[in-house]
Amino acid sequence: MSDTKGEKGEPVRLEVRIEAPRERVWQALAEDISAWWPAASFNVGGTAARMTLEPRVGGRMFEDWGEGQGLLWAQVCSLRRPELLQMVGDSFPEWGGPLRSYLTWRLESDGEATIVHLVDASLGERKPGDCAEKEKGWSFLMAGCLKAHLEGRPEPPWEA
């Protein structure tokens, strides 16, 4: 895994190798996110909330709390199956904003494996340590949870 991070506007960049074909990684990332997304650690609505991603342009990535309630994380801006997913999302002050994040996932075949490239570029209010925290979270989600799910290993524990 490689990374670059900064507090002055540089994006968070991750590269994760997953021992699974690109189509299978795409399926888990874009179409079955709730199977590996750790609700207890990452959902504002807690374990009862279900992370949902609608894999289409204009689709939403959101926590579904039931009865029409929830939290919108991002909206799909660009999608090219099974290689590109781009989203944009806003954060209110209570979630570290005001901040706009531009997320890009690129999936690259590497033999029978897949290289997942993630870039999270943000504009707006930043506090000291925000980039490091964002990198820690994305590393856990991609290199920990998604990778473990696809490689048939247990999810590592989240250390806040």
Residue 129 burial class via C-beta count within 10 angstroms: exposed 0-12, middle 13-18, buried 19 and up:
exposed
Q: What is the pTM of this model?
A: 0.89
CATH class belonging to 3-151: alpha beta
* Intervals of the chain under pLDDT 70: 1-9
pLDDT for residue 5: 42
Digit-coded pLDDT (tens) for 42-83: 888 888 889 999 999 999 999 999 999 999 999 999 999 999
Residue ranges covered by each domain of the chain: 3-151
What is the average pLDDT score of the chain? 90
Contact in structure between 81 and 26 (CB atoms under 8 Å): yes
